[in-house]
Every structure is written in C-alpha cells, then in structure tokens.
Structure 1
Amino acid sequence: MTLLRVAVDAPLWDALDYLHAEPLPPGSLVRAPLGRQTVCGVVLGPAQGDSATAASALRPLEGVFDALPPLGSDWLDLLRFAAGYYQRPLGELMAAALPTWLRERGAAAVAKRVADWRQRQAGTAFRLTPAGREQMPRTLSSRHAALWRLAGALGLHPARPADSSSAMDQGAPPRLSVQAARALHPKAAAQLRAWEMQGWVERVPEPCRAAEQPGAPARPPVLQAAQQAAVEAVRAARGYAPFLLFGVTGSGKTEVYLHLAQHALARNPQAQVLVLTPEINLTPQLVQRFAARFPDAMLAVLHSGLAEAERFDHWLAAHSGRARIVLGTRLAALASLPNLALIVVDEEHDASYKQQEGARYSARDLAVWRARQRDIPVVLGSATPSLESWRAAQRGRYRLLELPARASGSMPEVRLLHAGQDPLLRAGGLIGQALHEAIAARLARGEQSLLFLNRRGYAPVIRCPDCGWLSDCPHCDAHLVYHRTDRSLRCHHCGHRAAIPRACPECGSLDLQPLGRGTQRAEEALAELFPQARIARIDADTARRKGAAQSGFAQMHAGEVDILVGTQMITKGHDFQRVTLVAALNPDAGLFTHDLRAPERLFAQLMQAAGRAGRADAAEGGTAPAMLVQTAYPEHMLYRALVAHDYPGFAAQELIERRRAGMPPFSFQALLRAEHKKPEVLEAFLAQAAELAAQPAREAGLMVYPPVPASLARLAGMHRQHILVEGPNRSMLQDFLTIWHSALVQAKARVRWAIDVDPTEF
C-alpha cells in the first residue's frame, strides 16, 4: 500500500493522508472518504516524514478518476501559491478551480462523461450551406436574438444576407462546433440539427484539427500603425513579458488580441491562449469574434453562467489541451491549461476580477503570476487601467503600449449639464431640458441613445413624509428597494422581499412616497416623455432569465431599440454602431464616499459609457456623438478630466492623493473580516485578534488599525467588522499574515472570519 498526501474538497487548512494500492502521480483526481462523506481530492504526492500518519489509522481512497489526465505540476504550484498568498485552504482553491459537476460525481460517472465527450468531438462542427444563406434570413424573425447570434457565428448577418462580399463568396463559411455554439444559444445542438434537416447547415470535420482540416477564417481588418506596433512588440517578446495595452474605447484592442492569438497558435501547434473578460454578458460576442477568426480552433468557454455538466465539458476541453482558445471570467484564471502560451486580460481594471466571497483571489493578479510561472507574455488591456497597473507601467515593471485613436468613428464630445441650473431637474425631474432635446434630436434622425443610471429598481427607498419612516431591511443595515414591476420591496444585499405596506407601519399615514430614482423609474419617465420611442431596460432584474440580457443587446444591435436605459451592464464592451448619444444620470454619489477606489471606478464607468457613442463613422448629415452628464458638481476634477478624455491626467492626480495618504499602490493592505450574530461575541474576537497581531506587526513595521464596522455593518442578520493591516512592503505583510493566520486558527474562535489580501471592498 502507498501513502498519499491529498488536498480534499473541504475547508481544511491541511491536506490529509490516505492509502492506495499503488502510487499515483501528483495531480491525480481521486474520491476520498471524509467523515461520513466522500469528496473529491487532488493527490499532492507521497506522504513523507512527519506528515505521514500511521498506516493503521489511514483510510483508503474510494476511487481514482482514471479517465482524466493528472493535473500538471504548474497547476498545483499555481494553487499552492494562491492558497499561501491569499491565506486560504488549498482545498477551497481547488473547489473554486474545478467544475462542481466533477467534484460531485464518482469515477464511473466521470469516465462515462469523458467517453461521451470524446465521441461528440468527432463530426460535431457545422457550416452554413448556400440554401441556408438564402433562406434563413426570410425565416428568422428579428425578435429571435439568440438564433441570430447562432446564425451570425455561422457567417450570416441580418444586415447583409446576400452580400456578395461575404465570407461565403470569399471562401468556405466559418465552421461552428457544438461546444462553441452552446455558449451562444442554450439549445444549440438541437437547433443545429433542425437546420441540418432543412438543408441550411451541413456537418464538417471537427474544427480542432487545425493541421488536417484548414478552414477559411474571417478576413482580418488592416491594422492601424499603433495597433501594428503593439502587436509587433508582444510578438518580439521572449519569455515572461507583461504589457499594459492602454487604448481609448473603440481603438481596436480586441483586434490586437486576435492578432496575438493568431501568432501564438501559428508558432506552436499545441499552444493555448487564455482570454479573460470581466462580465458573463461580454463572453458571447468574444466567442463569436474568435470563432469567426479561428474556425479551425476549438474554443472553450468558462464562466458561472454555464450549466454544471456543460462547464465540465469546456473545462475538459481546456484540461486535455484540445481547446486552443479559452475564454472566460475570473474563474478561468484557475483553469488547467497544459500548453498555455499567451494570456490576455481584457478590461483589466474591472472590479469583477476580484472574488469577494470564499477564496478572495484576484484573477488579474494570478494571470500575471501565471505568465511569470510559465515564462510567457501577458497583455492587460484597458481604456482606464487600474492605478496599480498604471503605476507599474510608469515604473517600468510593465511595458506600456498605447492606442491613442479610435479604429473607426470619433470620440464623443462630453458636456456637463449643471443640475442646479436646469429647470426640469430643479423641479425634481429625472431628464433635464438639454438631455430631453438631445434625445428628441436622435429620435428624429433614427439614431439610438443610451442612458446610464447605476441603480436598479424603481426607487432606492419608500418614505413616509409624515413621520420619516423608511423601508429598511430587517436583516441588513440597508434600505429595501421599491420595484414597481411586481410592487415589491427587495433587499439587494440579502435578497429579503416584502410587500409594499398599505399604510406607514409607524404612524398609519397612507401617503407613502418613493424616494430617489432607479432604472425602472427612468424607463417610466422616458416612456412618458417619448411615447413613440422603443425603449428597453437592461439591469440585474431584467437579466435574471438566462439569455435575457443577450436578447436585449441583440435587439439594440439590430436597431430595434431607440433608447436603452440600464446600469453598468450596458456600458462595457458593446459595439453599438447606431448610438450617437450617451447620458449619465446623477453619477455624483461616487464622488463622496469613504471608498478610496470610488473615484477610480466612477471615472472608468463614465469613460466606458462615453465609449459606446460614435463607434461608427457618422453618415452624411448624422449627429455628432456626444455624452451628457447631469451633475451638481461640474467643476469637480474628475468631470473635467472626463471632458478632456484625459485618463493620464486623472490618474496623476489620484496617485498624488494616494501617495499623500499612504494608500495603495503606495502601500499594501489586508483585512481581517469577521461576522457573528451577536455583536458582543464579534467584538471579543476582534479584541483577541488585535492582541495577537500587535507584537508581530510591530516587529514587521506594519500598522494595525482598530476594529471598525464594515460598510454594510449588518448583512443577513450577521454583524460585520474588520481590522485593517497596512504596510509599505508586500513580503513583510505576507510574513506577518502567515504568523497571524496561524495564531487565529489556533484560537478556534466561534466567529466566522477570513483574511482578505489586497482588498477592494471595505
């Protein structure tokens, strides 16, 4: 019997020892008994020395996933680093990295799924036929947004169904694998088979066999000089090379990514490219562009919106090396990629790359570490880089590549509308006079407008004007938001729902009033002002149903929407060709908050929103693109930088203030987050934690701040506080955290706690 060290899928700080009949290589996936359960585990190696428990006390493994190749040593090193740096159990990181379907199944079920997957890979690609190109546009309704996404990936576009310059006339149309198609349509396999029976598509050899079955990729556009220089700089890199691609919105960063991926795949027939994107909603359009450019390369998509079995299939394609291109959100940063040759992090500044629950890792930072580990290039792209990345470029740690001009279209003029001087806004309206006139002008010309309001619901709170009662959440220190669609009050933090009271619970008054404005109220106001306009809303409420957000975006692209209102979901990455007006409704809340990153995030949101306008060359007589910002503080430095499209100027001022305050990126931070139902128990634990931190912090030259309530001091009935630790040196902070963490574990407190390294929320 062999003694093996195994990291198990459980919140345990140490790996466990097990028995097995024969040695297993590190990285082998196994089923291991744990108490009365059987859990997934990863073999770390043989149990040696003091870690090896007496054989008589060990339990044998219950199964080995023989159908799966072992996870690579580089993947194990990645998880060991992440577990150590972020002070999390190795098993917890493993659980975040592996598909849930795999972790919950036995070896026999996994073997069957793997065999089925391999069988499905043979002959599962489809290609549009001439009959399909001719007949499908006559059959598909413009309302079938999901079907049009699928047809678009096959090379069919509603705007030019018979265009003689299409891919059909230039050569063979794109091949679309079922695996890539499922990322675009929830029932892609059945739909493709139905089209096949109608003669609209035909089966062709599976597209991952690039050497045997060359395809006809979409013809790439000619690069501008700045794009070409960026591509050449990355191509010339040898080994680890971090690049910051700083390009204005619409400057063609995605086209640079496509050229770099093409070079990486051409240089090595086994190479894999990892492309990270911050939002699930941005994944389908990236899939479509990469599928059109690389019809002979298998694509894998990894994000939490996939069905569990489907995510396992995509993970398997990446882990087996068959997927040449892997697109995904932050969890894709932990994917097993044995032949990784290039990493791209799009919108690298986005806060979504930082996990806020469980294993609180930063996908962007792990991507950079992984590139160094694999000795490969990594490209971080953004129009508004994070201040950490911008300073790294200034100091020479990253090489700065700039795209200063748009690939097409023109940058919008940004105008600040003083809310205090607008009669409609002063009267309590949501749409000011100047914005009303601007929208009307776009409607008259058949152009589109986009309105950004980063608050969903109808109103942030219901208020009684007689006694001052507010609709507060009974479980959180937050208000219940009024949702007019179903006439409910909802907490956007814990999910609590309640009916709107008929009268004030405090004084009985019947005159309850909504206070503040959300996207539902904006949609209602627009409908009253422009009854002839086609208005759509996209926010977390409308996007609850799978595919709903993509359907809304497809309608916007197809010109079926005149005015789109929504939260930050509508401001990122979407290439709206008909939008000439963008408006920000009351974004001032981001100017005045304790969050040191709030101005940085607000500036990025507004720059991203502005970038949705003017992305196409204006037609003759068309309206010049513009962004209107309704604000009570038009002289604020942030807005003046926005008017000038001056990110470097904004960043320089923010860095001056950060340096003066000793804040990141000029210092390094960690938070001890703790919560408990009883505030006295929580305070006692934090007092003990502060005492345990005092001496090692003094020795390391670190500052430990007194415990303070979190921004949301009570969430779902749990009282929440934290202790901030700050210092000028990352390695010293890490050494301290290792000592402090060990002491906290030994304290065996009854409080739920976790250490958050490099926190972005407080």
Structure 2
Amino acid sequence: MRDVEKTFPPILTEELKRAVEEVKKSIFSGQPDAYLLFGVTGSGKTEVYLKLIEETVKIGKSAIVLVPEIALTPQTIERFVSRFGNRVAVIHSGLSPGERFDEWRKVKNKEVDVVVGVRSAVFAPFDNLGLIIIDEEHEATYKQSDTRPRYNAKEVAEKRCEIEKAVLVMASATPSLETYYKAIKGDYKLLKLTRRIKASMPEIEVVNMSDELAKGNNSIFSRKLFSYIKENLKKGEQTILFLNRRGYSSFVACRDCGYVPKCPNCDISLTYHFEDKKLVCHYCGYEEPMRETCPKCGSKRIRYMGIGTERVEMDIKKFFPEARVLRMDVDTTRRKGSHEKIFYEFKNGKADILIGTQMISKGFDIPNVTLVGVILADITLNLPDFRSSERTFQLLTQVAGRAGRGEKPGRVVIQTYEDNHYSILTAKEQDYVKFFREEIKYREIFKYPPFAHLMNIVVSGEDEEKVKNASANTYLACQKVINKLQVKSYNKILGPAPAPISKINNRYRWQVIVKSEEREVLEEIAEYVQNMKYPKDIRVAVDIDPLNIM
C-alpha cells in the first residue's frame, strides 16, 4: 500500500446527515438493528460509512467493512486508510498467508479498530464489535459456495450482530430483491439516498444492434458509441468500455461442417485468445493451440463467433491508433499488483480508454470518466438462471454509475439486441423500484426467492451412469424427507437433470433443485442427503439459498 495522505470528514448533505443520525441512535443504544442503505451511484454511501465508523470508534467499539473482491480497489482502501490511518487492517485474497496472518494478529492484539476486507473478514476476531457494513450487498461473491464450509457472509454478519449487539448496515444502489423485499416489509430499516453529491446522473442511451446491422454497420461499435469515443478523445476525457466476457471470441466454428472445438474435460466450448493464439477453457484451464484448418473436415473457413475484451481492445487500437488503451480482466491482472498498476495508470490520466469485465463496474470514482460504453448488454440476460434479469439490471446500473462522477456530465451507451427487455429499459431509466415491481411478479408466480427458499444439490462423478443413478436416489431421498415431515406448505422438487454446465474437469454433473417455503425443511433434507452412502467416486454438494444454479 502506497503512502496515503490523511483526509478529514467533509460537510455532509442533509440526506447523508439524516442517514448517519438514524444509524447512530442504534450504535449508541447497543440495539442490534439492521439497515438497508439504498442510494444511487455516487450518492455518498462511503461518506456515511466513514462517519458511522468514526462514531463507533469514539465509543470504544470496532467496525468491519465488507467489500466484494472486485470492488476492493486501491481507491476504496485509500479512502479508509486516509481517514483512520494505521488503525485499519485490510484482508483480501491477494495477501500471502504471512500477510494475512499479520493483519489477523493486529486485530487480535487490538492494534486496529477497523477491518476492511472481503467475505472472510466477517470473522475478524474483534471482541468489542459495534458495526458491520456490507458494501454492494447484492454481490454474489459474499457467498462461498465452491468449497466447504459454504456460507453467506451476509447471513453470518446478521447473526454476529444479533449475538454481539452490533449494528448491521447493508448498502447498494441495486440491492438484491430479497434484501429490498425484507426492507419494505419492515424486517430491515430502509434509508434512501436519492441524489448524487457532486454531479447529476449520467444520460443513458440504448442502441439496438440489430438496427445497426440492418443499416450496414458490422462493427462491434454502434455509430453513436463510435462518435462519442472519438469526441471524448478530442476533449481529453476518459472512456470506460465494458464487456463481461474475456478473450478474443467466445468460440470458433468451421463454416463448412459446423465443428466447434470443445474442452475435452468440460461441457463447454473453448474461448479463443488472440494474443497467445490459443483456445482456452475458462473452467478447468485446458488449452490447445489454435489451428488454421478444421480438424474434422480440413476446411480453412474458420469463423470467430462472439466477442471478448481482447477483441474490443484490438478493434479500439485499429480504429483509434492514437488512443492510449488499458485492459482489465482476469488475463491482465494475474500478477500481484497488476490490478493496482492498471487502476493508477488510468486514474492518473495515463490512458484514454479502459476496457474491462465486471471488475471495472465498481470502486472506480474517476472524475474525468465521462463516457461508458456497454458493448453487449445481453450476455448475462440469457443465462439459464432465475436471477439473470436481476444480474443484468445490477451490472448495467453499476457500470453506468462510473460516468460523470465529477463536474463534467456523463454519458452512457448500452448496446443490445433486446432493447425492449424490462432489465434494459429500467437500467436506462436508473429506476430500481420499477425494475423490482416487474421482477417480483415473476418471482411470486414461479415461487422463487423471496417467496421460497431454494436448495441446489449437485451430484458429480467421472461415470455418467453412476451420477445419473445417484441423482435419482437423491431425488427419492428428498421426497422421503418431505413425506416424513408431512409438510403442508409449498414444496417442489425439480430434476434430477443434467446441470446447465453438465461436465467440468472430467466430472459429469447432475442436479436436484428443491423449493420450499420453509428453510427448516431444506435443512432437514440437507442433513439426510449428506449422511447418505454414495459410491466412492461420487461427490454431492448441497447449497441452501444458492446465488446461482449453474
């Protein structure tokens, strides 16, 4: 961490003051209240955090700030360190085991009052906890679902605050439907921030790319976005281009026989990476060299389908050779410190255009960014997951919020093939409540959260027939438990069926999904399934309230 100059609290707006005063009452009274701080992008949520931490520390208590991994930028850390100096510990996945131990020891020895970190920081060993803040509470990274123990840091934080009489503040411009639903029902106290502090909201335009094609534009940039990028370069203002897919193209195909190279270990097509001239699996890491001819029919007519950030970078350099371009995705941030390096280069004006995946959608508060271009908004919209509309709205709203955060007005161009979808339309209007009202209707009809709890049981193994049989037995076990409990409320078992990604790392994957209005029913089923005897090579992963069912 570079040297950080100490800063002092600014004068808060009336809206921010009201939010601070409301939460302060709970902190001072020792009431374990839970709040949802619902504020538009750039409304000053971080200033509210800083003031609340200051008040918490004043009465001899400690605070934990949870931040999703992709939002834990150097700029985010700086804001806390500049206010509280060396009384802050930072915990994230980029630390070595030794560095992580050092930060943990500082907490245990009471050398710090504040911990800023990713989901595991919720376990920071304070014995005088007064406040937990969860920034961007809607983010899926707060759930650890790939390894045991599976836990949701939000649930842990809520329980810890209840036990230790601490206050919980969850904050977002785009809260998860479940959290907002609880807030309007009165389970959480709702605080709203409706205005940006220093600037107005950006102007957002939606461009239908089918219309662009019909008018002869085969580029990945609409004419509008292209002209705005050109204009920004002339004015010396910065641009962010967002595409939530890395690589050059999402897959390659033979135009003669239709052959598509797939990963031999996973049920997924290989992504082409131009720089390395390789086809790569983004699930298991398998790679093979790109061939100039089709291995099936020998044709040289190979077509690159779909686009990734690497392709966007190449096209920008081709159309705007004078532009200084940076790219931020998993491929460019593998080395330690590379994320920080790219961030500061862009922040300090050493680049005109930043291209990236969702890691650029948060934590970037750069006044000279006046244009955001969303290259293709439909990527998340068409995933086979009931949260796909919600994720699309959240991602578009968050990335649009990077534009116009200073004195200069901001513009956003969203490119899509589905310009009539309510996720796109409400993101254009920056209207969360309108999106919520539309989406909640579908959730209620189909009994998805918040109207029921879900459990995803994934059965995997190298022998597909064994996996299929084991998942059938799992289904029967779920049915047996429900019958035994004589549950009268809504329950439904879906499957068994192949998972949306039916093979990863040479392991076939089948799933059984259980819906229930009572979480206790799912807990009973989970306990029963986890105690069942399966063949040795079969693995069973049980996830209650999963954040994705892929």
TM category, shorter: over 0.9
Matched with 1:752 is 539
Matched with 1:546 is 336
Equivalent-residue separation in structure 2 for 1:423 and 1:716 (angstroms): 38
Alignment of 1:433 onto 2:220: no
Is the alpha carbon distance of 1:546 and 1:425 closer, same or farther for their aligned partners in structure 2, counting shifts above 3 Å?
Answer: farther
Determine which of 228, 245, 248 is the counterpart of 2:37.
Answer: 245
User: Secondary structure, in 3 states, of the residue corresponding to 1:693?
Assistant: helix
Paired residues for 1:224-303 under 5 Å: 224-237=13-26, 238=29, 239-268=31-60, 271-279=61-69, 282-295=72-85, 297-303=86-92
Equivalent-residue separation in structure 2 for 1:424 and 1:293 (angstroms): 54
User: Secondary structure, in 3 states, of the residue corresponding to 1:336?
Assistant: coil
Give the deviation of 1:538 after TM superposition: 0.7
Equivalent-residue separation in structure 1 for 2:214 and 2:283 (angstroms): 33
Paired residues for 1:581-596 under 5 Å: 581-596=371-386
Contact 2:327 2:354 in 1 (8 A): yes
Matched with 1:674 is 459
Matched with 1:442 is 232
Give the deviation of 1:476 after TM superposition: 0.7
Paired residues for 1:46-85 under 5 Å: none
Output the amino acid matched with 1:300: A
Output the amino acid matched with 1:554: Y
Alignment of 1:337 onto 2:126: yes
Paired residues for 1:605-754 under 5 Å: 605-618=395-408, 624-698=409-483, 699-701=486-488, 702-742=491-531, 744=532, 746=533, 750-754=537-541
Contact 2:393 2:423 in 1 (8 A): yes
Output the amino acid matched with 1:704: I
Equivalent-residue separation in structure 2 for 1:370 and 1:425 (angstroms): 58
Give the deviation of 1:683 after TM superposition: 1.5
User: Secondary structure, in 3 states, of the residue corresponding to 1:707?
Assistant: strand
User: Secondary structure, in 3 states, of the residue corresponding to 2:72?
Assistant: helix
Equivalent-residue separation in structure 1 for 2:383 and 2:80 (angstroms): 40
Matched with 1:190 is none
CA deviations on 1:297-336 (whole Å, 9 max, x unpaired) are: 5221112210111111111112333221111111112332
Gaps in structure 2 of 5+ consecutive residues = none
Contact 2:34 2:169 in 1 (8 A): yes
Contact 1:387 1:651 in 2 (8 A): yes
Paired residues for 1:266-415 under 5 Å: 266-268=58-60, 271-279=61-69, 282-295=72-85, 297-358=86-147, 359-415=149-205
CA deviations on 1:270-317 (whole Å, 9 max, x unpaired) are: x2210000015625323211111112x522111221011111111111
Give the deviation of 1:478 after TM superposition: 0.6
Matched with 1:570 is 360
User: Secondary structure, in 3 states, of the residue corresponding to 1:594?
Assistant: coil
Q: Larger C-alpha radius of gyration, 1 or 2?
A: 1
Equivalent-residue separation in structure 2 for 1:439 and 1:693 (angstroms): 55
Output the amino acid matched with 1:254: T
Output the amino acid matched with 1:234: V
Equivalent-residue separation in structure 1 for 2:534 and 2:422 (angstroms): 48
Matched with 2:2 is 150
Percent identical = 37
Matched with 1:524 is 314
Give the deviation of 1:473 after TM superposition: 0.8
User: Secondary structure, in 3 states, of the residue corresponding to 2:508?
Assistant: strand
Is the alpha carbon distance of 1:353 and 1:542 closer, same or farther for their aligned partners in structure 2, counting shifts above 3 Å?
Answer: same
Give the deviation of 1:519 after TM superposition: 0.5
Equivalent-residue separation in structure 2 for 1:648 and 1:736 (angstroms): 35
Gaps in structure 1 of 5+ consecutive residues = 1-148, 156-173, 175-217, 619-623
Equivalent-residue separation in structure 1 for 2:398 and 2:275 (angstroms): 29
Contact 1:423 1:432 in 2 (8 A): no
Equivalent-residue separation in structure 2 for 1:443 and 1:525 (angstroms): 16
Matched with 1:535 is 325
CA deviations on 1:202-237 (whole Å, 9 max, x unpaired) are: xxxxxxxxxxxxxxxx22111111111110010011
Output the amino acid matched with 2:52: L
Give the deviation of 1:740 after TM superposition: 3.9
Output the amino acid matched with 1:713: S
Give the deviation of 1:648 after TM superposition: 0.7
User: Secondary structure, in 3 states, of the residue corresponding to 2:78?
Assistant: helix
Determine which of 441, 455, 458 is the counterpart of 2:245.
Answer: 455
Contact 1:244 1:400 in 2 (8 A): yes
Equivalent-residue separation in structure 2 for 1:639 and 1:725 (angstroms): 30
Is the alpha carbon distance of 1:321 and 1:711 closer, same or farther for their aligned partners in structure 2, counting shifts above 3 Å?
Answer: farther
Contact 2:280 2:286 in 1 (8 A): yes
Q: Which has the higher contact order (CA 8 A, sep 6+)?
A: 2
Paired residues for 1:499-510 under 5 Å: 499-510=289-300
Give the deviation of 1:606 after TM superposition: 0.5
Give the deviation of 1:424 after TM superposition: 8.7
Is the alpha carbon distance of 1:669 and 1:426 closer, same or farther for their aligned partners in structure 2, counting shifts above 3 Å?
Answer: farther
Is the alpha carbon distance of 1:704 and 1:575 closer, same or farther for their aligned partners in structure 2, counting shifts above 3 Å?
Answer: same
Contact 1:281 1:550 in 2 (8 A): no
Give the deviation of 1:736 after TM superposition: 3.7
Contact 2:522 2:544 in 1 (8 A): no
Is the alpha carbon distance of 1:425 and 1:568 closer, same or farther for their aligned partners in structure 2, counting shifts above 3 Å?
Answer: farther
User: Secondary structure, in 3 states, of the residue corresponding to 2:379?
Assistant: helix
User: Secondary structure, in 3 states, of the residue corresponding to 2:255?
Assistant: coil
Equivalent-residue separation in structure 1 for 2:109 and 2:464 (angstroms): 50
Output the amino acid matched with 1:267: I
Is the alpha carbon distance of 1:571 and 1:247 closer, same or farther for their aligned partners in structure 2, counting shifts above 3 Å?
Answer: same
Contact 1:700 1:733 in 2 (8 A): no
Output the amino acid matched with 1:247: G
Equivalent-residue separation in structure 2 for 1:585 and 1:444 (angstroms): 21
Give the deviation of 1:732 after TM superposition: 3.2
Contact 1:330 1:352 in 2 (8 A): yes
Equivalent-residue separation in structure 2 for 1:750 and 1:531 (angstroms): 54
Give the deviation of 1:240 after TM superposition: 0.6
Determine which of 332, 345, 351 is the counterpart of 1:561.
Answer: 351
